[in-house]
Amino acid sequence: MSQVRNMQPLLHVENLRVEFPTRRGTLVAVDDISFHIDEGEVLGVVGESGAGKSLTGAAIIGLLEPPGRVAGGQIIFNGNRIDHLGYEQMRRLRGDQIAMVFQDPLTSLNPLYTVGKQLTETIRTHVSVDERAARSRAVELLNEVGIPAAERRLDQFPHQFSGGMRQRVVIALALAASPRLIIADEPTTALDVSIQAQIITLLKRLCRDHGTAVMLITHDMGVIAETADRVAVMYAGRIVEVGPVQDVITRAQHPYTHGLMGSIPVIRHDVEQLIQIDGAMPRLTDIPSGCAFNPRCPRVFEYCRFERPELMDVGATNAACWLFDEGQSQAGGAQ
């Protein structure tokens, strides 16, 4: 799935903080997170709704909805810092080198124009070619993403495509300028299981054939298991565990990740009851002190309630949990 890595990651996010100023104060939606993505790698970003996954993707590509803002940290793409770029510079980068695939393809497609017009306009915006060459390239893209009778379907409108086919068109649009990074935000959520599998296969093939890196945002661990090289687990705006996907899935270290993995049914295993995580993700107005997961954690001890842990080396993964700080875990003891 993955390509040979360069020493320098393609994307490096360092201490990213996303805030929403309100009349009652400032809400912190993404709180000091750091991660990287290598060329040709799929990084899965997983967590419950409200964890900050989509906001992280939007911050990287410069599409935060006001009053949301990047309030701290750095976003470095291909060796260059991009979080302070102006609108026009960011727009060019978005089209040329970073692309986004959204959950609902209808938000990315204009219902008033044919698929072919939208593809050729996108191609000609970023590549200096005439209309005929752009149309030929559009047919190639539709063929590449698995749309049959591509030449004929270029002249159809988005409503004439099924949900899965529309998502393929959106991926074709994302590929139009041969980007180095695709941010895919819940790209399979609205699709049925068989179409999900096809989109997953398509994303994996793009990484293999083009060396494209993918940041795959989802709440579906099944999609992550099938697609990602590494996975970052988010909770309440923080990364609580990150590591190779098989290690995180089979040997989860953070109690939250362990709960997520335990809630997934496995056909081969006969279990009477799945693990559940009691409670719900805290609202931005009510993030607890210390480790944000402590009110729901089955292994909480006193230190967790007032001191926030950073990511620590735990074998193959990194986890933000005081259980792996020998001094604190022995002093506190599980309650």
Is the four-CA dihedral 286, 289, 293, 294 of positive or negative sign? negative
Mapped onto helix, strand or coil, the DSSP state of residue 73 is strand
Among 252, 274, 296, residue at a domain's last position:
274
Q: Which residues of the chain have pLDDT under 50?
A: 1-5, 334-335
* pLDDT digits 0-9 by tens, 256-276: 999 888 766 555 555 565 567
Per-residue pLDDT, 217: 95
Instruction: Please tell me whether residues 30 and 83 are part of one structural domain.
Output: yes
Per-residue pLDDT, 332: 59
Q: Is 123 within 8 Å of 132 (Cβ atoms)? A: no
C-alpha to C-alpha distance for 248 and 257, rounded to whole angstroms: 8
Mapped onto helix, strand or coil, the DSSP state of residue 54 is helix
Q: Is residue 320 part of a domain?
A: no
State the pTM of this model.
0.90
Instruction: Please tell me whether residues 166 and 220 are part of one structural domain.
Output: no
How many separate domains does the chain show? Answer: 2
Q: Is residue 41 part of a domain?
A: yes
Per-residue pLDDT, 329: 61
Instruction: Please tell me whether residues 81 and 199 are part of one structural domain.
Output: yes
Instruction: Please tell me whether residues 203 and 75 are part of one structural domain.
Output: yes
Q: Is residue 118 part of a domain?
A: yes
Instruction: Please tell me whether residues 209 and 263 are part of one structural domain.
Output: yes
Closest CA to 73 of 10, 25, 9, 18: 18
Instruction: Please tell me whether residues 242 and 122 are part of one structural domain.
Output: no
Q: At what angle do helices 131-144 and 115-126 cross, to 10 degrees?
A: 110
Per-residue pLDDT, 89: 92
Instruction: Please tell me whether residues 50 and 163 are part of one structural domain.
Output: no
Q: Which domain holds residue 79?
A: 11-97+179-274
The DSSP 8-state label assigned to residue 44 in this structure reads E
How many alpha carbons fall within 13 Å on the CB side of residue 204?
14
Beta strands 312-314 and 98-101: pairing type?
Answer: unpaired
Instruction: Please tell me whether residues 202 and 266 are part of one structural domain.
Output: yes
Instruction: Please tell me whether residues 92 and 40 are part of one structural domain.
Output: yes
